[in-house]
Amino acid sequence: MNENHRSDDIVRAWVRSGPEQASAEFVERTLRPVPRMRQRRSWRILLERGSRPVLAGAGAVAVVVLIAGLGLLAVRPGGVGGPASPGPSATSQPTFEMTISGGGPATGTYRSDPAASVNRCTHATDGSWRYIYVSGQPPINLDLLIGFDAASSAGSSHVALELEYDPGYFRFDPADLRGGDTAGRSTASVTVTPGPTSTTFRITAVTPDRSDGTDRTPVDVDMTVTCPN
Partner 1 sequence: MDDELVARAARGDADAFDALARDRIDRLFGIAFRILRDHHDAEDAVQHALWTAWSDLPGLRDPARFDAWLYRLLIRACYRAGHSRRRRAAVVSIVPEMDDLPGTATDDAIVDRDALERAFASLSTEHRAVVVLHHYLGLGLDEIAAVVGVPHGTARSRLHYALLKLRSTIEATEPPTVAVAESGR
Residues of the shown chain interacting with partner 1 in the complex, contacts defined by CB under 8 A: 3-4, 7-8, 10-12, 14-16, 18-22, 26-27, 29-31, 33-35, 37-42, 45-46, 49, 58-59, 61-63, 65-66, 68-71, 124, 126-128, 145, 147-148, 176-179
Query: Any idea what the Cα angle at residue 70 is, between residues 64 and 140, rounded to 5°?
Result: 90
Query: Any idea what the Cα angle at residue 54 is, between residues 48 and 56, rounded to 5°?
Result: 105
**Among residues 148 and 189, whose Cβ is nearest to partner 1?**
148
Cis omega (within 30 of 0) for bond into 33: no
In the complex, the smallest distance separating the C-beta of residue 173 from partner 1, rounded to whole angstroms, is 10
Q: Report the distance separating Cα 175 and Cα 182, nearest Å.
A: 10
**Among residues 70 and 223, whose Cβ is nearest to partner 1?**
70
In the complex, the smallest distance separating the C-beta of residue 97 from partner 1, rounded to whole angstroms, is 25
DSSP state of 68: H
In this structure, are residues 201 and 225 in contact, taking their beta carbons and an 8 Å threshold?
A: yes
Q: What is the greatest pairwise CA distance in the chain?
A: 70
**Among residues 67 and 225, whose Cβ is nearest to partner 1?**
67
**Among residues 72 and 225, whose Cβ is nearest to partner 1?**
72
**Among residues 118 and 218, whose Cβ is nearest to partner 1?**
118
In the complex, the smallest distance separating the C-beta of residue 15 from partner 1, rounded to whole angstroms, is 4
Q: What torsion do the CA atoms of 186, 187, 193, 194 make, to the nearest 10 degrees?
A: 50
In the complex, the smallest distance separating the C-beta of residue 80 from partner 1, rounded to whole angstroms, is 26
Q: Report the distance separating Cα 55 and Cα 36, nearest Å.
A: 28
In the complex, the smallest distance separating the C-beta of residue 217 from partner 1, rounded to whole angstroms, is 25
CA 213 to centroid of chain Cα atoms: 18
In the complex, the smallest distance separating the C-beta of residue 79 from partner 1, rounded to whole angstroms, is 29
Neighbours of 222 (CB within 10 A): 14
**Is residue 15 helix, strand or coil?**
helix
In the complex, the smallest distance separating the C-beta of residue 222 from partner 1, rounded to whole angstroms, is 25
**Among residues 91 and 125, whose Cβ is nearest to partner 1?**
125
